[in-house]
Chain A
Amino acid sequence: MTVDSLQEHFDDKVKREVTIEPRDWMPDDYRKTLLRQISQHAHSEIVGMLPEGNWITRAPNLRRKAVLLAKVQDEAGHGLYLYSAAETLGSSRDEMMEQLHSGKAKYSSIFNYPSLTWADMGAIGWLVDGAAIMNQVPLCRASYGPYARAMVRVCKEESFHQRQGFEIMLTLSNGTEVQKKLAQDALNRWWWPSIMMFGPPDDNSPNTEQSMRWRIKRISNDELRQRFIDVTVEQAKILGLTPPDKDLKWNEATGHYDFGAINWDEFWNVVKGNGPCNKERLEARKKAWEEGEWVREAALAYSKKRSERNNKISAKAA
């Protein structure tokens, strides 16, 4: 087949919602864009363990500790599902690690904010995982098979994450004055960064159109953001907490909440590496990678030695 007819065949499959699989022909740009998107997503899951990992040893009781541990372990799993989906596109795991550690690859900016109090574990589960779910559910129908299948797995697990977070918020909001204040303070700090998780507004998101055509993005940033705000404002009412946006108002005509201006300067500043924890997060990842090096080497050496010994034994037996 010529490149033109391969392209035609590919376009036709995407249009008919037939998934593209690793060994199928695909345009270079599709491969590159997907690789960037999936690895960025994988990095976000891995770096995303850090703000919550920060509180595992200080969880207020054993139940909360077991839950948080399970949640953070899930995020590690999500990272691994996604890295292996990315590997089907021809990148090695080490290459992706290298790109994360050198700062070449990005991850979600939300994880560059600090988790200051226990209430942040509630706000993160409720808002950050909530926004992630909003983003990820449509990707279960992404055109690339391994990515879509990884997202199905991820989405199945995310719902517990959001519910455990909401439960923490609920307990705090029904608690003492101090506890309620902690919950409100966490909401105040995580609200805007969560809303920014959907990315820049549609008119400033140049790649959206192509990604929609390729069906590796199914719903635009602004539409997802609006959906998130609409459901989350209602959830905040159950908690008796107030999102930190004085312009938040139900709009009868549109059937949606109007909301205030988003501080995109802050967003871009964090993306560029100047958020409160960018440096700390990357340092933590690099340290883990470097300190694990001897383990990776030892395991390889051990397996090599063992298979050599087995070969010798079977050679003797023969």
Chain B
Amino acid sequence: MAQQTTNKNEWPLWEVFIRSKAGLDHKHAGSIHAADAEMAIENARDVYTRRMEGVSIWVVESKYIHASEPGQSEELFEPANDKIYRHPTFYDLPDELKHM
């Protein structure tokens, strides 16, 4: 994701998300400049899907993306660190046990 620097004549910046094939999530591909959403989709098509990399495109004006602070990553993500009992491998069960 790029930071938009304010420059009055520059077309706004958009983040591009692409679904690479039916059934998969849209994934961030990069950013582009465009005057409006319609142009953003067309530009994203030309820039990010020249080789059938996508079947669907989302564009979001970059200024509307809110992101977590890298400095807060400890408080946000560390609480999950010591909860390994949330994973199935935490439970030591007999080998004879099937289909579980």
Instruction: Please list the residues of chain A having a beta carbon within 8 angstroms of any beta carbon in chain B.
Output: 1, 21-25, 70, 73-74, 77, 80-81, 84-85, 87-88, 90-95, 146, 149-150, 153, 157, 296-297, 299-300, 302-303, 306-307
Contacts and interface: CB of A to CB of B under 8 A. Distances in A.
Contact of A21 (B33, B35, B70): B70
A133 B32 CA distance: 24
Given A84-B32, A306-B36, 17 more contacts: A73-B46, A77-B46, A80-B47, A84-B13, A87-B2, A87-B5, A88-B2, A93-B7, A93-B33, A94-B9, A94-B10, A153-B30, A157-B51, A296-B9, A297-B9, A299-B11, A300-B11
Interface string B1-39: 111010101110100000000000000001111011001
Given A74-B50, A80-B32, A91 B39 contact: no
A21 B50 CA distance: 26
A150 B48 CA distance: 11
Interface of B: 1-3, 5, 7, 9-11, 13, 30-33, 35-36, 39, 46-47, 50-51, 67, 69-71
A73 B50 contact: yes
Q: DSSP class of B's interface residues: helix, strand, loop or mixed? A: loop
A302 B32 contact: no
A303 B36 contact: yes
A229 B10 CA distance: 43
30 contacts: A1-B71, A22-B1, A22-B2, A23-B67, A23-B69, A24-B70, A25-B70, A73-B46, A74-B50, A80-B47, A84-B2, A84-B31, A87-B2, A87-B5, A88-B2, A92-B5, A92-B7, A93-B33, A94-B9, A95-B5, A146-B2, A149-B30, A153-B30, A157-B50, A296-B11, A299-B36, A299-B39, A300-B35, A302-B36, A303-B39
Contacts of B2: 22, 84, 87-88, 146
A87 B35 contact: no
Given A22-B3, A24-B70, A87 B13 contact: yes
Contacts of B51: 157
Contacts of A77: 46-47, 50
Nearest to A24: B70
Nearest to B36: A303
Given A73-B50, A77-B47, A296-B11, A90 B30 contact: no
A281 B47 CA distance: 23
A303 B35 contact: yes
Contacts of A87: 2-3, 5, 13, 31
Contact of A93 (B3, B10, B36, B70): B10
A77 B46 CA distance: 8
Contacts of B31: 84, 87
Contacts of B3: 22, 87-88, 90
A95 B5 CA distance: 10
Contact of A84 (B30, B50, B71): B30
Contacts of A21: 70
A128 B47 CA distance: 22
Contacts of A1: 71
B61 to A, nearest CB: 11
Which of A24, A25, A297, A303 has its CB near the most chain B CB atoms (within 10 A)? A303
Given A22-B1, A23-B70, A94 B39 contact: no
Nearest to A20: B70
A306 B39 CA distance: 13
Which of B1, B35, B46, B69 has its CB near the most chain A CB atoms (within 10 A)? B35
Contacts of A81: 30, 47
Nearest to A80: B47
A300 B7 CA distance: 13
A10 to B, nearest CB: 11
Q: Return the 4 tightest CB-CB contacts between A and B, nearest first.
A: A299-B35, A303-B36, A92-B5, A87-B2
